[in-house]
Amino acid sequence: MKSKIKIFGPETKFYAAFLYFCRPAKTAGRFYMKIGNIDLGDKPLLLAPMEDVTDASFRFICKEFGADMMYTEFISSDGLIRDARKSLEKLVTYDYEAPIGIQIYGNIPEAMTDAAVMAEKAAEIAGGHGADLVDINFGCPVNKIARRGAGSGMMREPDKMVEITRRVVEAVKLPVTVKTRLGWDEDSKIIVELAERLQDAGIQALTIHGRTRCQMYTGEADWTLIGKVKENPRMRIPIIGNGDINSPEKAKEAFGRYGVDGIMIGRATYGHPWIFKEIRHYLDTGELLPQMCVRDRVELARRHLAKSIEIKGERVGILEMRRHLSCYFKGLPDFKETRLKLVTLNDPAELFRTLGEIAVRWGDGDAPEAGNIYGL
Ligand SMILES: Cc1cc2nc3c(=O)[nH]c(=O)nc-3n(C[C@H](O)[C@H](O)[C@H](O)COP(=O)(O)O)c2cc1C
* Best residue for ligand 1 mutational test, from 180, 267, 279 (most atoms within 8 Å of Cβ): 267
CA 239 / ligand 1 centre spacing (Å): 17
Query: Using CA atoms, how far apart are residues 80 and 83, in angstroms rounded to an integer?
Result: 5
CA 88 / ligand 1 centre spacing (Å): 20
Ligand 1 atom, smallest distance to 245 CA:
26
Is the C-beta atom of 240 inside 6 A of ligand 1? no
Is the C-beta atom of 210 inside 6 A of ligand 1? no
Residues paired with residue 35 on neighbouring β-strands, in sequence order? 38
Ligand 1 atom, smallest distance to 242 CA:
23
- Taking CA atoms, 99 is separated from 72, 131, 157, 162, 331, in Å, by 11, 8, 31, 25, 34
Query: Using CA atoms, how far apart are residues 243 and 251, in angstroms rounded to an integer?
Result: 10
Instruction: Name the closest-CA residue to atom 28, ligand 1.
Output: 50
327 is known as an active-site residue: no
Is the C-beta atom of 48 inside 6 A of ligand 1? yes
pLDDT value for 33: 95
* Best residue for ligand 1 mutational test, from 45, 47, 51 (most atoms within 8 Å of Cβ): 51
pLDDT value for 376: 75
pLDDT value for 371: 52
Cβ proximity of 174 and 123 under 8 Å: no
Query: Using CA atoms, how far apart are residues 341 and 329, in angstroms rounded to an integer?
Result: 13
- Output the CATH code of domain 294-366: 1.10.1200
CA 288 / ligand 1 centre spacing (Å): 26
pLDDT value for 19: 43
CATH domain 26-285 topology: TIM Barrel (3.20.20)
Is the C-beta atom of 152 inside 6 A of ligand 1? no
pLDDT value for 372: 65
CA 371 / ligand 1 centre spacing (Å): 31
pLDDT per residue as tens digits for the range 176-187: 999 999 999 999
Domains 26-285 and 294-366 share a fold: no
pLDDT value for 24: 45
State the distance between the two ends of the chain, measured CA to CA, in whole angstroms.
74
DSSP string over 49-76: P-TTTS-HHHHHHHHHTT-SBEEPPPEE
Domain layout of the chain by residue ranges: 26-285, 294-366
Q: Which of 140, 214, 293, 327 is labelled catalytic?
A: 140
pLDDT by residue, tens only, the chain of 376 residues: 334 434 444 454 554 444 444 444 444 445 689 999 999 999 999 999 999 999 999 999 999 999 999 999 999 999 999 989 999 999 999 999 999 999 999 999 999 999 999 999 999 999 999 999 999 999 999 999 998 999 999 999 999 999 999 999 999 999 999 999 999 999 999 999 999 999 999 999 999 999 999 999 999 999 999 999 999 999 999 999 999 999 999 999 999 999 999 999 999 999 999 999 999 999 999 999 999 999 999 999 999 999 999 999 999 999 999 999 989 999 999 999 999 999 999 999 999 999 999 999 999 665 554 456 777 7
Query: Using CA atoms, how far apart are residues 303 and 347, in angstroms rounded to an integer?
Result: 16
